[in-house]
Structure 1
Amino acid sequence: MNTILLVIALVTLINIFLAIITVFREKRDIAATWAWLLVLVLLPGIGFIAYLFVGKKISREKIFDIKTQESIGMSELVLAQKEMLAEDELLSSKQSNENTKEMASLFLESDESILTKGNELKIFTDGKEKFDHLIHDIQQAKHHVHLLYYTFHQDELGNRVLAALEERAAAGVEVLVIYDAMGSRSTKHRFFKNLEKLGGKAEPFFGSHWTIINLRLNYRNHRKIVIIDGKVGYIGGFNIGDEYLGKVKKFGYWRDTHLRIEGNAVLALQSRFLMDWNAAVVKQKFDYKEEYFPLSKNHGKTNMQIVSSGPDSELQQIKKGYLKMISMAKESIYIQSPYFIPDDSVLDAITIAAMSGIDVRIMIPNKPDHPFVYRATTYFAGEMVNAGAKVYIYDNGFLHAKTMVIDGEIASVGTANLDFRSFKLNFEVNAFIYDPVIAQDLKQIYEKDIEKCHLLTKELLDQQSRWMKFKQEFSRLLSPIL
């Protein structure tokens, strides 16, 4: 018995020693360091396997390869806009206020994101409507279709979109597809075989040479963008799959938010796509081509910036945008996110706003698609209720929208959730919109969604079982690595 206890003690000490070496050999923030240490110590062996697949940071070589992809077609515009902003010439007095100028400056400096004027936007909240429009736009393409989705399922909707892409490729239109290797793991590359025979190209992002082993599992391209002829663009939360049409019983109706854009903001999406393409492929990289960036006359009245962030940068550009919006709010903050796991900076900013009397509203789903993630979400939802915010639980299916609206004036729609993963681990892209009309539209959509929610109250929180509270507390400890 003494020998067994001695062996157990020795193995435990060795495991702790190896866990400390493993975690501290790579520079990361303190919260993630302690979360991984907890996993490695409590799950000997299994924890190390998990770390190998989802804990290792991107290699310096791969980060260099991604970051050396210049903002294709944007560099000259960025320099010009910085000069104009410094001289107060970027926005007319009618268009500008201090908040807009500060937001524009933030993204020009942190992400080299150009401010585009006069865009026309259409908001989609229903998958069927969104994909009917997308497929119609693809069918009208004359020069190119560039499409990037985290999830591209091999199902009925996936085949509909693929058929439209194949038809355009057969007509001589350039068709490029990027799909995330993890998000589309149920889709085999042979699904795109006929598209490639017809002249199109499809590439997995951060794929693996082996079917089972992928040591870059934790770093995913979560973006969802489409560019058609450099004139029409799509950005938002919908992926390609039948569940996004509400056809999967587990989720029910799928409530998301997506934008269709006409105007020069599409050029920023084009630049983002080409950079991601160059990061995904070994050969056949793309340089600037004039036909990819056709300048257009104003289609509408919306000013906006397309902002990207990812693990290739320490700046967390989209998170900084969220923080800036929250800090500028004077009257209201409306947030929708399926995963609400804010880091300390975002949690403090929202808490301060709520305690300052600002109308803070947060909407989350009523069901999980990832158990630990959802329990962490409900933990932080409870923290927000205690801080004085209104938290709404969406009951009409699954809420997947990633939106923020402040004071009914400035809005954000995109792919980034309010969680650690979107801030640090995923490649994300958001549209930051400076148009009170669009912001009011999004605010009204939010208020209509409230009709299909129930309010999370302190009384409901008190009624939770001890087991539920334990699951939420434990999931919170893992939140930096979820």
Structure 2
Amino acid sequence: MKNPVYFHAAQFVAVFALFLLAGCSSIPALVPDMAMRPSRPVQLDGAHGPLSAAQSKTILARLKNNATETNIFDRHLALESELVGSPLVVGNKVTLLVDGPTTYNAMFTAIERAKNHINMETYIFEDDEVGQRFAALLMKKQQSGVQVNLIYDSVGSINTPKAFFDTLKQSGVNVLEFNPVNPLLARKGWDVNRRDHRKLLIVDGQVAFVGGINISSVYSSSSFRRVKITKKNQAWRDTHLRLAGPVVSEFQKLFMATWIEQQGEPLAPRDYFPVSKNYGHEVVRAIGSSPEEPYSQIYVTLLSAINNAETQVYLTNAYFVPDPQLLAALKQAVQRGVDVRLLLPATTDSALVFYASRSYYDELLNAGIKIYERQDALLHAKTALIDGVWSTVGSTNLDWRSFLNNQEINAVVLGQDFGLQMQVLFEQDLASSKLITLESWRKRPVSNRIKERAARLWARLL
């Protein structure tokens, strides 16, 4: 969900003001030689800390076994470690969750089983049927002795009444409003452009949920239903993950860092970092980005992965407004013989982003990039699959706002087993999508071309 506030003519004055505020922002340039430097050995972490060089080598060899030829493991991962800093963690179980109903049911189950604490961070927390169910369950757990800590974004949840969050506070839930819209409540320099777009739930420090799904009833329907879709019952297509294992502590660190940076009330003492144990065999990296940092860690990670792709780059994204580096990386991948496919929405909740995205179609199609538009559902997922072995799921859109102004969070999962699940899901989406060809695209109405050019002017702010 891009933004609950829809743009009308009167709001363009405010948008122009934001443009002035953001005028100095820029996406950092990756030095071309970075991807070509000799790689140092990739270090993996386990439940009890860093693994030995021999252990790391054995696990990486297992990941590469029977995989499509790719240099992701040999070059990209070592570079990624230098750029990002967070460890690759082994011993995790990752469950792919498709759409709201499946994700919410898994979340409700985890919350019900909570015994120590629940940490939730979300962009949108609506006062609707789904939001009220979450609120009731969180208050119930708080009253049973489980400490609940909640971060919600001020802009994302601007339509949610203050009384809704006051009720949570009165029950004992520790509630923190991220970067309040009201300048009188600002904890430091007021900047309405900075937002917490993360979707993160952590239960007892053992289980984490990460992805693109907010707390809202718009996600109440599955996108693969075999029923007639109307505007009233349109399903939202999204992707989330349930993670169990040592990597959860890395997501916990990101939650804690945001809480401290936003000057939240001291957290009640709980076992936030319990002794880790192995739940599975997945290798996962937790990546969080913040505009407080010199560059977007998720952006440079994805760009590096694309630059090192050998066979395929499959991107699924709700809001695709690329910067010049990302455009160049995708085109260069095609020139190397990589199969580059973009799965984008045919309908959207943000007309400006929709037309700005389409303003790039001619250039992309002309370069040999395949573009598909998901039909009969509003595509909101943010995922990538590269060479069948490098996957990411999270909150990050492929636009300037995510890379410059938002706090975002993603999980990178390595390995062919999970990659195969992502491949199957991508192909299922393609079966419900329309392939856009250059010939047909150039026959679109003049009115659409005008909208695209106008929206392109606002690309950096959307």
TM-score, L = length of structure 1: 0.80
What is the CA-CA distance between 1:93 and the residue it aligns to?
2.5
Do 2:288 and 2:408's aligned partners in 1 also have CA atoms closer than 8 Å?
yes
Please tell me the root mean square deviation across aligned C-alpha atoms, in Å. Answer: 2.9
Note the alpha carbon deviations across 1:234-285, whole angstroms, 9 max, x for none.
0000001011123993671111010000001111110111111112235426
- Matched residue, 2:374: 394
* Cα separation, 2, equivalents of 1:102 and 1:298: 27
Residue 274 in structure 1 maps to residue 256 in structure 2: yes
Indicate how the Cα distance of structure 1 residues 47 and 156 shifts in structure 2: closer, same or farther if over 3 A, else same.
closer
What is the CA-CA distance between 1:212 and the residue it aligns to?
12
Note the alpha carbon deviations across 1:430-473, whole angstroms, 9 max, x for none.
11111211111001100011110010011221211222112212
Residue 380 in structure 1 maps to residue 360 in structure 2: yes
* Cα separation, 2, equivalents of 1:412 and 1:120: 15
* Cα separation, 2, equivalents of 1:408 and 1:322: 14
Which SS does the other structure have where 2:457 is aligned? helix
**Rg larger in 1 or in 2?**
1
Do 2:83 and 2:301's aligned partners in 1 also have CA atoms closer than 8 Å?
no
- Matched residue, 2:225: none
Indicate how the Cα distance of structure 1 residues 84 and 197 shifts in structure 2: closer, same or farther if over 3 A, else same.
closer
What is the CA-CA distance between 1:127 and the residue it aligns to?
0.7
- Matched residue, 1:147: 120
Do 2:80 and 2:304's aligned partners in 1 also have CA atoms closer than 8 Å?
no
Which SS does the other structure have where 2:428 is aligned? helix
Note the alpha carbon deviations across 1:265-309, whole angstroms, 9 max, x for none.
1111101111111122354268xx782112322111100101111
**Equivalent residue in structure 2 for 1:284, among 260, 263, 266:** 266
- Matched residue, 1:167: 140
Which SS does the other structure have where 1:448 is aligned? helix
User: What residue identity is the alignment partner of 1:223?
Assistant: R
* Cα separation, 1, equivalents of 2:208 and 2:379: 23
Note the alpha carbon deviations across 1:19-45, whole angstroms, 9 max, x for none.
xxxxxxxxxxxxxxxxxxxxxxxx9x9
* Cα separation, 2, equivalents of 1:323 and 1:89: 29
- Matched residue, 2:383: 403
Do 1:54 and 1:217's aligned partners in 2 also have CA atoms closer than 8 Å?
no
Which SS does the other structure have where 2:360 is aligned? helix
Do 2:310 and 2:336's aligned partners in 1 also have CA atoms closer than 8 Å?
no
Q: Which shows bigger deviation, 87-96 or 275-284?
A: 87-96
Note the alpha carbon deviations across 1:110-163, whole angstroms, 9 max, x for none.
332122101101111121111011011101100000000101000000001111
Do 1:226 and 1:234's aligned partners in 2 also have CA atoms closer than 8 Å?
yes
Note the alpha carbon deviations across 1:309-365, whole angstroms, 9 max, x for none.
121122221111111111121111111001111111110000111233211110011
Which SS does the other structure have where 1:230 is aligned? coil
- Matched residue, 1:237: 212
Q: Which has the larger helix fraction?
A: 1
Note the alpha carbon deviations across 1:28-75, whole angstroms, 9 max, x for none.
xxxxxxxxxxxxxxx9x987753545642699xxxxxxxxxxxxxxxx
- 1:163-242 aligned within 5 A: 163-209=136-182, 215-242=190-217
* Cα separation, 1, equivalents of 2:241 and 2:390: 15
Identity percentage of aligned residues: 31
Do 1:100 and 1:434's aligned partners in 2 also have CA atoms closer than 8 Å?
no
- Matched residue, 1:92: 57
Indicate how the Cα distance of structure 1 residues 164 and 304 shifts in structure 2: closer, same or farther if over 3 A, else same.
same
* Cα separation, 1, equivalents of 2:277 and 2:264: 36
- Matched residue, 1:13: none
Do 2:321 and 2:356's aligned partners in 1 also have CA atoms closer than 8 Å?
yes
Indicate how the Cα distance of structure 1 residues 385 and 79 shifts in structure 2: closer, same or farther if over 3 A, else same.
closer
* Cα separation, 2, equivalents of 1:244 and 1:211: 34
- Matched residue, 1:420: 400
Do 1:351 and 1:387's aligned partners in 2 also have CA atoms closer than 8 Å?
yes
* Cα separation, 1, equivalents of 2:220 and 2:335: 39
Indicate how the Cα distance of structure 1 residues 326 and 139 shifts in structure 2: closer, same or farther if over 3 A, else same.
same
Do 1:354 and 1:389's aligned partners in 2 also have CA atoms closer than 8 Å?
yes
Indicate how the Cα distance of structure 1 residues 474 and 368 shifts in structure 2: closer, same or farther if over 3 A, else same.
same
**Equivalent residue in structure 2 for 1:158, among 114, 120, 131:** 131
Indicate how the Cα distance of structure 1 residues 231 and 103 shifts in structure 2: closer, same or farther if over 3 A, else same.
farther
Note the alpha carbon deviations across 1:358-392, whole angstroms, 9 max, x for none.
11110011112111211111122332211111110
* Cα separation, 1, equivalents of 2:369 and 2:170: 54
User: What residue identity is the alignment partner of 2:85?
Assistant: E
Indicate how the Cα distance of structure 1 residues 430 and 102 shifts in structure 2: closer, same or farther if over 3 A, else same.
farther
Indicate how the Cα distance of structure 1 residues 440 and 80 shifts in structure 2: closer, same or farther if over 3 A, else same.
closer
- Matched residue, 1:50: 15
* Cα separation, 2, equivalents of 1:224 and 1:58: 28
* Cα separation, 2, equivalents of 1:128 and 1:211: 38
User: What residue identity is the alignment partner of 2:176?
Assistant: E
Do 2:153 and 2:195's aligned partners in 1 also have CA atoms closer than 8 Å?
yes
- Matched residue, 1:19: none
Do 2:306 and 2:330's aligned partners in 1 also have CA atoms closer than 8 Å?
yes
Which SS does the other structure have where 2:132 is aligned? helix
Do 2:45 and 2:90's aligned partners in 1 also have CA atoms closer than 8 Å?
no
* Cα separation, 1, equivalents of 2:368 and 2:50: 41
**Equivalent residue in structure 2 for 1:303, among 256, 259, 283:** 283
* Cα separation, 2, equivalents of 1:47 and 1:395: 30
Unaligned 5+ residue runs, structure 2?
1-8, 25-42, 65-70, 223-229
What is the CA-CA distance between 1:196 and the residue it aligns to?
1.9
User: What residue identity is the alignment partner of 2:266?
Assistant: Q
Do 2:122 and 2:200's aligned partners in 1 also have CA atoms closer than 8 Å?
yes
Which SS does the other structure have where 2:434 is aligned? strand
Indicate how the Cα distance of structure 1 residues 46 and 199 shifts in structure 2: closer, same or farther if over 3 A, else same.
closer
Count of residue correspondences: 417
**Equivalent residue in structure 2 for 1:451, among 426, 431, 442:** 431
User: What residue identity is the alignment partner of 1:123?
Assistant: L
Q: Which shows bigger deviation, 235-244 or 88-97?
A: 88-97
User: What residue identity is the alignment partner of 2:257?
Assistant: M
Unaligned 5+ residue runs, structure 1?
1-42, 60-77
